[in-house]
């Protein structure tokens, strides 16, 4: 389905981004992967993706908290792979603290990576998509783009911002062949969430399994994590012709979180 298309997935060295990158490659897209990690491990991942799926895979280590690097990621993808047809804005960080103790430096970092970088990559990619009269922008927001939880002020503000930005881009691109949507996952077991499970286990003296169950039962009625593979499946659907008229939506995958 995505043969001769180029996909950029930010934050794809781990977790949800990697799950989405895998499915885009399986659908035939050439890939630009991005994110932090050990250089040798990233190179092994890049080579494994290329050989498993028979597509071109490049890596760019842009730090998305730096505006020139976020913009440069798109320019570099065009230079190395020739286009940007699918942009998945996935990179994100979390910081947990009550507002009155929230460090400004952490607030700035969360907003820069989770929101401003989405604006910067989108702004850089749109002219290329308009030229080709086709594009898919998929922003990995969160249920926290639609509802709040205590102690996650910067994250909730950024993710609500991503949902709003996605709607604006959808309006500005309507009818052009480009769509822009937000996906809103509930809990997905990735390094980002494992950190929160570990903190809960220590704080409440729970075993790792008990902490996992507690985390899920507070928010996610299915008591099951969504998976990076399932999120990849949804991203593939949003790239399909069947989804050509789906734009400007915030689509939850949350085991019932928002139904409560
Ligand atoms: P993760 O920590 O496993 O992966 C985050 C990725 O982003 C990594 O590849 C990391 O290297 C990269 N990254 C972090 N800072 C970066 C920066 N400055 N520049 C470039 N790359 C950077 O996290 P995840 O759980 O897979 O989260 C992915 C996205 O999904 C995030 O936007 C997160 O907010 C969102 N999300 C996650 C969950 C969940 O339960 N895990 C739920 C809802 C939304």
Q: Is the pTM of this model over 0.95?
A: yes
Locate the ligand 1 atom nearest the alpha carbon of residue 94 and give its number: 34
What are the sequence ranges of the domains in the chain?
6-186+226-259, 189-225
Asked whether 77 lines ligand 1 (CB < 6 A), one says no
The per-residue pLDDT for 192 is: 86
Which tens digit of pLDDT belongs to each residue from 53-95?
A: 999 999 999 999 999 999 999 999 999 999 999 999 999 999 9
Nearest residue (CA) to ligand 1, atom 36? 142
Ligand 1 centroid to 90 CA: how many Å? 6
Asked whether 140 lines ligand 1 (CB < 6 A), one says yes
Ligand 1 centroid to 190 CA: how many Å? 8
Which tens digit of pLDDT belongs to each residue from 86-144?
A: 999 999 999 999 999 999 999 999 999 999 999 999 999 999 999 999 999 999 999 99
Asked whether 146 lines ligand 1 (CB < 6 A), one says no
CATH class for the domain made up of 6-186+226-259: alpha beta
**Residue from 53, 59, 95, 155 carrying the catalytic annotation:** 155
Residue 59 among the catalytic residues: no
- Ligand 1 pocket, mutate which of 65, 108, 189, 190 (most atoms under 8 A from CB): 190
Which tens digit of pLDDT belongs to each residue from 141-192?
A: 999 999 999 999 999 999 999 999 999 999 999 999 999 999 999 999 999 8
Q: SS3 sequence, the chain?
A: CCCCCEEEECCCCCHHHHHHHHHHHHCCCEEEEECCCCHHHHHHHHHHHHHHHCCCEEEECCCCCCHHHHHHHHHHHHHHHCCCCEEEECCCCCCCECHHHCCHHHHHHHHHHHHHHHHHHHHHHHHHHHHHCCEEEEEECCHHHCCCCCCEHHHHHHHHHHHHHHHHHHHHHCCCCEEEEEEEECCECCHHHHHHHHHHHHHHCCCHHHHHHHHHHHHCCCCCCECHHHHHHHHHHHHCHHHCCCCCCEEEECCCHHHC
Asked whether 16 lines ligand 1 (CB < 6 A), one says yes
Which tens digit of pLDDT belongs to each residue from 1-28?
A: 999 999 999 999 999 999 999 999 999 9
């Amino acid at each position: 389905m995505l043969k001769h298309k180029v996909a950029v997935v930010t934050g794809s060295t781990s977790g949800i981004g990697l799950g989405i990158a895998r499915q885009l490659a399986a659908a035939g897209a050439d890939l630009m992967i991005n994110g932090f990690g050990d250089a040798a491990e990233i190179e092994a991942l890049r080579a494994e993706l290329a050989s498993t799926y028979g597509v071109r895979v490049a890596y760019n280590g842009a730090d998305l908290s730096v505006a020139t690097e976020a913009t440069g990621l798109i320019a570099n993808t065009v230079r190395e792979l020739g286009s940007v047809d699918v942009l998945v804005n996935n990179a994100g960080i979390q910081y947990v603290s009550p507002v009155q103790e929230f460090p400004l430096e952490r607030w700035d970092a969360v907003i820069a990576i989770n929101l401003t970088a989405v604006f910067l990559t989108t702004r850089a990619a749109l002219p290329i998509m308009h030229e080709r009269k086709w594009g898919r922008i998929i922003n990995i927001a969160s249920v926290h783009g639609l509802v709040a939880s205590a102690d996650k002020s910067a994250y909730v503000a950024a993710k609500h911002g991503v949902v709003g930005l996605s709607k604006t881009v959808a309006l500005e691109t309507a009818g052009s062949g480009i769509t822009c949507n937000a996906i809103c996952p509930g809990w997905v077991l990735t390094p980002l969430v494992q950190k929160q499970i570990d903190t809960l286990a220590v704080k409440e003296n729970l075993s790792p399994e008990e902490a996992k169950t507690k985390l899920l039962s507070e928010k996610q009625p299915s008591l099951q994590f969504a998976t990076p593979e399932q999120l990849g499946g949804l991203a593939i659907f949003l790239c399909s012709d069947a989804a050509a008229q789906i734009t400007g939506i915030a689509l939850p995958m949350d085991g019932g979180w928002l139904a409560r």
